[in-house]
Chain A
Amino acid sequence: MVEQEGFRRYIAHIILWIGIAIVAFPVYVAFVASTQDNALIANGQMSLLPGGHFFEVYYQTIFVGTSGSTREPVGNMMLNSLVMALAIAIGKIAISIISAYAIVYFRFPFRMPIFWIIFITLMLPVEVRIYPTYKIVADLHMLDSYAGLALPLIASATATLLFRQFFMTVPDELLEASRIDGAGPLRFFWDTLLPLSRTNMAALFVILFILGWNQYLWPLLITTRDDMQTIQIGIRKMMTTNDALTEWPIVMATAVLAMLPPVFVVVAMQKLFVRGLVETEK
């Protein structure tokens, strides 16, 4: 038996708490700053204890926004981020699961070339083809639109590969059974395959939602109108003004609000999150 001395265990606990403190500290500072008076922060006199402006600052952030730099309520930015994240997650899952279904359950000319065309997209993130993509989206008149925000980010193969892998493990007997019941391909997909894929879809959804919510470079390029900004872009614009004029409590409240949904998803759906993370990285 491997020994478990009490002393070593204390050390483990202590190290873990130090780790947690390091990980949590920047966020704690942001929260504390979001409840304090701007003048105090700008003077470098910020306290490390929460101040008394919590409701005031968050009310202004969500419903009014900064008075100088963005002039857009952060509530609206969050709505844009939400729409974009949902469109990316749902869109990617929807188009991937049907194309994986075709590739696994049918034999048709150009099946493998099509598979490879999709597979190769795995290799290149949007960052390396950013300007040409921008130009195409502009030519299609999709700047400042939800479609322009989401569609280019849907073009990737991870989900397709994941579903393909999963379908390969589904026993053939299921298909034969449903065929005996007189089910056609669409029926089989809807009644048998989709319910079986539920956990995979949920795990993937969690990961894609977080990735979608956190998109930055792409929305930065293609949104010009104030009312189309996502929350990540809003934060940057709030910091553009001269440091002395930055409304720090609002910036920090926005940072906290930007973290809240994805962090909530990770904590509340931890099992699905871990599963999705491990599977998409394979």
Chain B
Amino acid sequence: MQKQAIFQSKLLPYALVAPQLAIVLIFFYWPAVQAVIQSFLLQDAFGLSTSFVWFENYVELLSDPAYFETIVRTFFFSFAIAASSLSVALLLAVMADKPMRGGAVYRTLLIWPYAVAPPVVGVLWVFMLHPSLGVLSRYLRAAGIEWNPLLDGNQAATLVILAAAWKQISYNFLFFLAGLASIPKSVLEAAAIDGARPMRRFWTVTFPLLSPTIFFLLVVNIVYAFFDTFGIIDTMTRGGPGKSTETLVYKVYNDGLIGGNLGSSAAQSVILMVMVIVLTGIQFRFVERKVTY
């Protein structure tokens, strides 16, 4: 990992890394350390005194059934978003992978939602499916469904999952296209000569060869569902009704800002950090494996 041809200079390299190092230390490490420290502190109700309480914040959190529910809910959201978005994207990518007229146009028309910000995604979907004025709610009501995501927790959760999956289709589509392009055509032709029909070719050849892409996207989608859904949830439901759409990140925000419970919020941040590190670790191990694949 080291160049053979290098420059000799005593001060210049430090001057070159200094800006990034300064920003990283001030805006990354300092707050991260603060979060860890804060998570061991407890503030009284008036914010007048703080005391060091060891792991009390963590114990309280982890023995709180509501927190446990939030963890389960977040993972459920993640898998629902990943599964629905990945399957739609895979179907579209397989269709677009065929050599056909207008392939580039299809690609352009399918990738742009990547650029739509999460809060905007939330606004678009809540408007379409708003109980009283949404254009799609009329049809749902005509079909006999009592549609009101502002009151019904399950419907609100469905709405959040749909919106979040919608945004992620374009991203998954792009990576599936790249994955499909890297599958040698000769393998598929060999299977065709052996008499495998297209469906069978897909499940026995294409799908297994795509598994590294699928696994990579699964991790990326879970991380996306953890963090980037904040904007969607905030403009759509604010975590409600009740707590039915409150994810881990939303709870950090809610408890810290609105609840004013900084110790607990910090402890939640630290737990989230650990989760992300584990997820990233899984992803890195996997990326390493892909190199030798």
Name the one of B4, B10, B117, B276 contacting A172, with C-beta atoms under 8 angstroms: B4
Contact in complex: A16, B17 (CB < 8 Å): no
A267-282 toward B: CB 8 Å interface, digit per residue (1/0)? 1001001100110011
A268 to chain B, nearest CB (A): 10
- CA A179 to CA B6, docked complex, whole Å: 10
Name B121's closest neighbour in chain A (CB-CB). A26
Contact in complex: B185, A2 (CB < 8 Å): yes
Contact in complex: A114, B17 (CB < 8 Å): yes
B8 to chain A, nearest CB (A): 8
* Residue B49 CB within 8 A of the other chain: no
Name B103's closest neighbour in chain A (CB-CB). A16
Name the one of A8, A48, A263 contacting B116, with C-beta atoms under 8 angstroms: A263
- Given A9-B98, A263-B116: A118 and B21 interface contact (C-beta under 8 Å): yes
Contact in complex: A185, B277 (CB < 8 Å): no
User: Which stretch (B25-33, B57-65, B72-80) binds chain A?
Assistant: B25-33
Contact in complex: B227, A125 (CB < 8 Å): yes
Taking CB atoms, residues of chain A closer than 8 Å to B185 are: 2
Taking CB atoms, residues of chain B closer than 8 Å to A152 are: 27
- CA A74 to CA B198, docked complex, whole Å: 51
* Residue A199 CB within 8 A of the other chain: no
- CA A217 to CA B170, docked complex, whole Å: 23
- CA A101 to CA B184, docked complex, whole Å: 37
Contact in complex: B189, A1 (CB < 8 Å): yes
Q: Report B171-188 residues with CB < 8 Å from chain A CB.
A: 171, 174-175, 178, 185, 188
Contact in complex: B231, A44 (CB < 8 Å): no
- CA A3 to CA B111, docked complex, whole Å: 28
* Residue A80 CB within 8 A of the other chain: no
Contact in complex: A151, B5 (CB < 8 Å): no
A91 to chain B, nearest CB (A): 9
Taking CB atoms, residues of chain A closer than 8 Å to B245 are: none
Contact in complex: B235, A236 (CB < 8 Å): yes
Name the one of B30, B132, B171 contacting A136, with C-beta atoms under 8 angstroms: B30
Contact in complex: A176, B5 (CB < 8 Å): yes
User: Which stretch (A51-59, A62-70, A126-134) binds chain B?
Assistant: A126-134
A171 to chain B, nearest CB (A): 9
Name B273's closest neighbour in chain A (CB-CB). A128
* Residue A61 CB within 8 A of the other chain: no
A15 to chain B, nearest CB (A): 5
- CA A150 to CA B130, docked complex, whole Å: 34
* Residue B166 CB within 8 A of the other chain: yes
* Residue B71 CB within 8 A of the other chain: no
* Residue B38 CB within 8 A of the other chain: yes
Q: Report A97-124 residues with CB < 8 Å from chain B CB.
A: 98-99, 101-108, 111, 114, 117-118, 121-124
Contact in complex: B17, A232 (CB < 8 Å): no
* Residue B40 CB within 8 A of the other chain: no
Taking CB atoms, residues of chain A closer than 8 Å to B23 are: 95, 151, 154-155
* Residue B242 CB within 8 A of the other chain: no
Q: Report A216-266 residues with CB < 8 Å from chain B CB.
A: 216-217, 220-221, 232, 235-236, 239, 243, 248, 251-252, 255, 258-259, 262-263, 265-266
* Residue B138 CB within 8 A of the other chain: yes
Name A186's closest neighbour in chain B (CB-CB). B12
Name A30's closest neighbour in chain B (CB-CB). B124
- CA A94 to CA B175, docked complex, whole Å: 28
A187 to chain B, nearest CB (A): 11
Contact in complex: A155, B108 (CB < 8 Å): no
Contact in complex: B124, A118 (CB < 8 Å): no
- CA A46 to CA B134, docked complex, whole Å: 8
Contact in complex: A46, B120 (CB < 8 Å): no
Contact in complex: B7, A105 (CB < 8 Å): yes
Name the one of B21, B265, B266 contacting A114, with C-beta atoms under 8 angstroms: B21
Among B4, B29, B120, B230, residue most surrounded by chain A Cβ atoms (within 10 Å):
B120
Name the one of B30, B92, B119, B125 contacting A232, with C-beta atoms under 8 angstroms: B119
Contact in complex: B20, A95 (CB < 8 Å): yes
Among B9, B20, B32, B99, residue most surrounded by chain A Cβ atoms (within 10 Å):
B20
* Residue A77 CB within 8 A of the other chain: no
* Residue B100 CB within 8 A of the other chain: yes
Name B150's closest neighbour in chain A (CB-CB). A243
Contact in complex: A98, B32 (CB < 8 Å): no
A to B CB contacts below 8 Å, 17 in the list = A3-B192, A13-B100, A15-B92, A26-B121, A29-B128, A41-B133, A42-B133, A98-B17, A102-B17, A103-B13, A117-B24, A125-B276, A151-B23, A179-B5, A232-B117, A255-B124, A277-B174
Please list the 9 inter-chain residue pairs (A to B) with the smallest Cβ-Cβ separation, ordered nearest first. Answer: A132-B31, A132-B34, A262-B115, A214-B117, A102-B16, A106-B13, A172-B5, A102-B13, A216-B231
Beyond A121-B24, A133-B31, 8 extra complex contacts between A and B, CB < 8 Å:
A16-B96, A98-B16, A99-B19, A124-B32, A128-B35, A129-B31, A255-B124, A262-B117
